[in-house]
Each structure stands twice: as C-alpha cells, then as structure tokens.
A = this chain, B = another copy of it.
Amino acid sequence: MTEHFQQTGLGVAKGASAQKRNRAETKTRIRFAAERVFAEYGYSGASFSMIAAEAGLPKSNIVYYYSSKKALYRVVVEDIFNVWRAAADTIHPDNDPLEALGDYIDTKLDLARTRPYGSKVWANEIIQRAPIVQDYLEGELRRWTEERIAVIDGWSAAGLIRPVSARHLLYAIWATTQHYADFTHQIRTLNDNKDLSAAQWEETKQAVKSVLLCGVAVSRGQNCSVPGT
C-alpha cells in the first residue's frame, strides 16, 4: 500500500478522483471521531471500538486507514498544534503589541469554543509527559516559542509595552485561553449547567484581555481599555 501522509484537513487536492476524495473524507471523519473520543477518555481509555462507533464504521475500518492507535493519535495531536501555531502569526514585530496580543487571545478563545476536543487531547498528552509527541516539543514547539518570546522582548525594548516576562506572559495566555476549552465542563457546571451563550463568550474575551493585557500596556485610563473585537 502506498502511503499518502495526507496531512490536511477537510480539503483535498483538486483533480483527485472520486475514490481519493472519498478516501480523504473517510479519513477526516475518523480523525474527528478519534479527537472526540481521545479527548473524553484519554489515550488509554479510548478504544478502537469506541472510535468506530463514534465514526459509524466497523472497527477494522479504523485500523485500515490508520495502521495503529498510536499513529491515529499522533495525527490528532499534530493537527491541533498546527491550528494553534497559525493563530500566533499575529505575534509579529510589525504589529501593534496590544492589538496583536488581543487578536491572539480572541483567536485562541474562538478555538477553545470551536475545537475544544483538540485542546483536551493536547492537555492530556502533556500531562502524561508527552509519550507520543516529545520530539515535537523539543523541535517545533521550542523553536516557535523562542521566536514569539523574541518578538515580545523586542516590543519591550522598543518601549511599546511595559517590561514583562515574555515567557510567563505567553504561558499565562496559553493557560487561560486553553482553560476555557479543557475545563469547559467545570465552567459549565459553575454556569448553572448551561453552556456559555454567545454574549457570555464575548464577555469572556473582554474579561480575559482586560486581566491579561492591562499589566502590559504602558499607560492606561482608569478603565484600562484594551482593543475590542
């Protein structure tokens, strides 16, 4: 069997035959089913039969498309990492610091809302000491983090923001935004067992930006305004 290593999500290369298109669709369907099951039951708690049931396919079909549980899991983890990485493009020397960080927080909170399962899988993987994707951490994540820290330090040096620890600011942003995905259930319980409404999500964005970015601004009014959406 030839391997395709089709990394991308829903899209498929144009010109693909009907068979290949269907193949990609099936793989994607399995991937999202797996993301949900891995998130809710952890790597060990998730079984092929659960993923198969979630995807509406027989068990052996899962094995056919992803040769092992580990391989399927890795694809899921890498996917959410790539999505997050793209969200941080806004942290760039040319951008306005407060606006850039505000946009980053907004985007990550949007992802917490739309892709909570991916975030949970990532959290699980890290909690368990990254048994599957440690190479990713030491390679891409490390490089990517140092780059962003350099940008923020640059803003500091240019006097565009107060001198803060770029690393810990980044960690605080990660922690807080991902909290709204990973701890959805706790937040829901503390919200009378109701999911956050659209208005509450807006409120959340404003509050998170207010808490995390007020300490960053070089000056502020009494109400410490941060860029809205």
* A167-179 interface bits toward B, Cβ cutoff 8 Å, 1 = contact, 0 = none: 1110110111011
Contact of A45 among B44, B179, B208, B214 (CB under 8 A): B44
**Contacts A42-B128, A165-B207: A182 and B212 contacting too (C-beta < 8 A)?**
no
Stretch in A8-16, A58-66, A70-78, A118-126 touching the partner:
A118-126
Stretch in A23-31, A82-90, A92-100, A186-194 touching the partner:
A186-194
Interface of A is mostly: helix
Closest B residue to A39 by beta carbon equals B127
Enumerate chain B residues within 8 angstroms of A120, measured Cβ to Cβ. 127
Enumerate chain B residues within 8 angstroms of A42, measured Cβ to Cβ. 42-45, 124, 127-128
| Bound form: Cα–Cα A27–B120 in Å | 32
Q: Is A204 part of the contact surface with B, judged by Cβ < 8 Å?
A: yes
Enumerate chain B residues within 8 angstroms of A132, measured Cβ to Cβ. none
| Bound form: Cα–Cα A193–B44 in Å | 26
Interface size of A in residues (CB-CB distance below 8 Å): 58
Contact of A212 among B41, B172, B183 (CB under 8 A): B172
* A97-140 interface bits toward B, Cβ cutoff 8 Å, 1 = contact, 0 = none: 00000000000000000000000100110111110001001100
Residues of A within 8 A of B (CB): 39-45, 120, 123-124, 126-130, 134, 137-138, 141-142, 145, 162-165, 167-169, 171-172, 174-176, 178-180, 182-183, 185-187, 189-190, 193, 203-204, 207-208, 210-216, 222-224
